[in-house]
Amino acid sequence: MPMVTEPAPTKLTDTPLEPIGPLDTKVVQRLPKMTEGCLVPVYMDIQQAFVPAEIVSTREMNGVHEFYIHYVNYNRRLDEWVTVDRMNLKELTQPSSSSSSSNNISHEMSVTSLPRTVQPSTTTASTAASSAAELSLGNTTTFFLSDDADSLNSDLSRAATLPSLTDPLPATATPTAPTIARGNGNAHHSGAHSITKVKNINMIHLGRYFIKPWYFSPYPEEFTASPVVYICEFCLKYCKDVEALKRHRTKCTLFHPPGNEIYRNGTISFFEIDGRKNKSYAHNICLLAKLFLDHKTLYYDTDPFMFYILTEFDAQGFHIVGYFSKDKESSEDYNLSCILTLPPYQKKGYGHFMIEFSYTLSKLEGKIGTPEKPLSDLGLLSYRRYWSEAILQTLLKHKPKDSETDYPSLSINDLSEMTAIKKEDVLAALQNLNIIRYHQGSYVLSIPKDLFDSYQDKRRLRVDAKNLFWTPRVTTKSTNQFQSK
């Protein structure tokens, strides 16, 4: 019978057998030094992969160190607080003092579009032949532009060299503080202050929805500690808890935004708010909008602005969907300063609807309009779609019948006047559609049939001018009481 021996004792290794749980202060002290500006790969849930990220801020919560990070080349709305267990510390990079300032600017840049190309003022034989072939195709509609070719070529070249509509600053520019505190929170700012880089509101409750904010908004500091900020959906007053909101609702008599209802079509309404007459509501909507708009700086002088609040109606009242604002007086033809569709109502056509409404007001005023620039990345996409649609629908109305052989003629100014879209925006839309061509000494618009078909009234929401009850403001020049007669 063999002898029974005890098994040799196993030697413990220094390697932990399971992942470290919540980190305490002692563990953190043994980790590499991690400060603001460090770059480190962080596991990103939506990508299911490690993504380069910059540490923006640090804090300690219940003895656990947390790091607020910005995913490089991703929108800042995805910034979040993470713990060390989501970081690949082996690839941690310390910030460089010489490049920290430039990094801060580049990381805040929105993703910009590629430079637009312009057709040259001269063409080769092959280019001319291909252009002639395009004009002769039966499935292509051609419009001759009556504009002077040299002048139009200059306009196109100038449009191509303009900074992208989403660029806060040219790449070589240095950020400067705004010198004028203008308006309703819609002044663009370059390079966020270190405080405003970090989201300060965890969650808001508005009407039927709990909404997670995207960006910083300067609500009073005592509200930043609340797990949820409760907002009255009719006057937009903010409360620390649900009980405070209930007490407020017993006193608040509003069931729609203050101001005049100027448009109603079914359950959709627009209310016009004067920023001077309704200061409290104007301030509150600016704070709310800043939660979802990145490159905007909030100021408190709302007097120069009008606000147009889009609502949906039901038995409980008129629920805010979004809004846009515009200058009462603009020397640069701005017909829109800021636009926001609240997240629960996005991807339903409300953004296009508000843009179309702003141009409808411009037509009633007899003006050519343009949005205040720079636009956000989402705003630029919405405007490009609207401009393209409005121009193609206008061209469709002037499209020759199949029996007609003559090409119709119009000018860029004609398109601008018919659509109320500023000339520069018309040119940008034509270039984005890639339908402007140089042919035999002049410019033409060459539009394939499938492009026309793709823009034929596919939007669910359209502005019906018959349901708009609005009179343009009458502007009066202020007189100098000391002026000699």
Catalytic residues: 372
Rounded Cα–Cα distance for residues 236 and 207 (Å): 10
Q: Which of 342, 395, 394, 339 is nearest to 370 (CA)?
A: 339
Query: Smallest Cα–Cα separation from 211: which of 324, 360, 77?
Result: 77
Distance CA 280, CA 236 (A): 9
Q: In what order do the strands lie in the sheet with 140-145?
A: 409-410, 140-145, 442-448, 436-439
Place of tokens 């109606």: 313
**Cβ–Cβ < 8 Å for 280, 341:** no
Here the tokens at position 221 are 């500091």
Q: Is 80 exposed, middle or buried (0-12, 13-18, 19+ CB in 10 A)?
A: middle
Q: What is the CA radius of gyration of the chain?
A: 28
Long-range Cβ pairs for the range 403-412 (8 Å, 24+): 407/135, 407/142, 407/143, 407/144, 407/444, 408/143, 408/144, 409/143, 409/144, 409/145, 409/146, 410/143, 410/144, 410/145, 410/146, 411/145, 411/146, 411/147, 412/145, 412/147, 412/152, 412/155
Q: What token pair was written down for 431?
A: 């270039």
Longest dimension (CA), the chain: 131
Give the other-Cβ count within 10 Å of 345's Cβ.
Answer: 17
Task: Give the integer Cα–Cα distance in Å for 266 and 47.
Answer: 41
- Residue 198, CB half-sphere, CA atoms under 13 Å: how many? 17
Instruction: Take residue 214 and report the two structure tokens written for it.
Output: 């995207």
Q: How far apart are CA 367 and CA 57, in angstroms?
A: 47
Q: Which amino acid is at 84?
A: V
